[in-house]
């Protein structure tokens, strides 16, 4: 897909292509969330998580293996193992959250992942996090409070699961920063897909029931779309300034809300909408600050 956009009469500048990849990636992520909600109406979230993960692995293998197994080498296998456990836990929580709360709300709460990563960075990576990013984190969690209104409304299990999933993503962001400096992208992607499939298999077997062709097709499509979304996101970051394309991640909220409304008749209330904007805004701001800090960091 990226090659087609950059060739012939469809040629466009790198920043424009990066923006386009970012928007398409956001759309694919949102559609995948909708497909998960659809599947979990019939099968247990754990089973849906494995089906989606395995489909993604099968789709990814030919892409990753083109350079041969010789290029797949892990310098810190234990760290990959830990990431696999965290990813599986986060995926199971994410699928369980989408089974019980609106798609738009789940996606909005998942935007807290960069906030968790920012909070952990000083303690694990010994990075300096300055006042602006701490302020963005505080605002992000104020957005969570606006959405959930604890003490006024009962905080649902689905909301807690979505936030828990975001916390594991934040941990994964920290691990990726470490392993990506030592191993190539092929190793990082393949190890992630492999461990995710393995660690979601056992919980899936405990609740297994034969899925319908509709659910199976939805999870295969979800695996393909989520894989493409990650590839497009990676490509967007490679060819365009992150500080320029990060604000476009906002459209993921719009896509998710639209899918929730069209597919499942979900209408967010005003508090959910305001909180979602605050959370996403803080996450986007942190991404911009990270990009500026990386640009100023000595190579």
pLDDT per residue as tens digits for the range 68-122: 665 667 788 899 999 999 999 999 999 999 999 999 999 999 888 888 888 888 8
Least confident of 80-89, 134-143, 149-158, 201-210: 149-158
- The total domain count for the chain is 1
- In which domain, by residue range, is 173 found? 2-296
Q: Is the dihedral of CA 255, 256, 261, 264 positive or negative?
A: positive
Report whether pLDDT(1) > 60: no
Ranges 145-154, 209-218, 252-261, 262-271: which has the least confidence: 145-154
So what's the pLDDT on residue 67?
63
Find out whether 141 and 286 touch, Cβ atoms under 8 Å. Answer: no
More confident residue, 48 or 177: 48
Distance from C-alpha of 73 to C-alpha of 48, rounded to nearest angstrom: 30
pLDDT over 80 at 256, yes or no: yes
Range of lowest pLDDT (96-105, 162-171, 178-187, 218-227): 178-187
What's the pLDDT score for residue 10? 53
**pLDDT, tens digit, for every residue of 47-66?**
999 999 999 999 888 877 77
Split at pLDDT 50, 70, 90, the class of 11 is: low
DSSP 62: H
Summarize the confidence of residues 260-267 as an average pLDDT.
91
Nearest to 157 by CA among 96, 105, 109, 112: 96
Instruction: Enter the tokens of residue 3.
Output: 């090659």
């Amino acid at each position: 897909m990226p090659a087609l956009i950059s060739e012939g009469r469809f040629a466009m500048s790198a920043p424009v292509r990066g923006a386009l990849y970012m928007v398409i990636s956001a759309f694919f992520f949102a559609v995948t969330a909708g497909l998960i909600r659809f599947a979990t109406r019939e099968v247990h979230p754990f089973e849906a998580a494995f089906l989606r993960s395995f489909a993604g692995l099968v789709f990814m293998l030919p892409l990753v293996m083109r350079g041969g197994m010789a290029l797949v080498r892990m310098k810190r296998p234990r760290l990959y193992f830990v990431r696999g456990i965290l990813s599986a836990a986060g995926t199971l929580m994410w699928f369980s959250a989408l089974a019980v709360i609106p798609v738009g709300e789940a996606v909005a709460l998942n935007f807290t992942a960069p906030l968790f990563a920012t909070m952990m960075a000083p303690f694990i990576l010994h990075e300096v996090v300055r006042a602006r990013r701490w302020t963005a984190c505080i605002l992000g969690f104020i957005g969570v409070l606006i959405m959930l209104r604890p003490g006024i409304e009962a905080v649902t299990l689905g909301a807690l699961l979505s936030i828990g999933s975001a916390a594991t993503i934040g941990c994964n962001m920290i691990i990726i920063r470490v392993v990506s400096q030592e191993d190539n992208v092929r190793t990082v992607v393949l190890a992630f897909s492999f461990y995710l499939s393995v660690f979601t298999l056992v919980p899936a077997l405990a609740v297994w029931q034969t899925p319908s062709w509709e659910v199976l097709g939805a999870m295969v499509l979800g695996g393909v779309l989520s894989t493409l979304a990650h590839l497009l996101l990676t490509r967007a970051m490679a060819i365009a300034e992150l500080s320029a394309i990060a604000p476009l991640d906002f459209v993921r909220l719009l896509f998710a809300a639209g899918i929730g409304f069209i597919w499942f008749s979900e209408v967010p209330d005003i508090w959910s909408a305001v909180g979602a904007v605050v959370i996403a805004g803080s996450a986007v701001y942190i991404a911009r600050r990270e990009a500026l800090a990386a640009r100023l960091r000595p190579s």
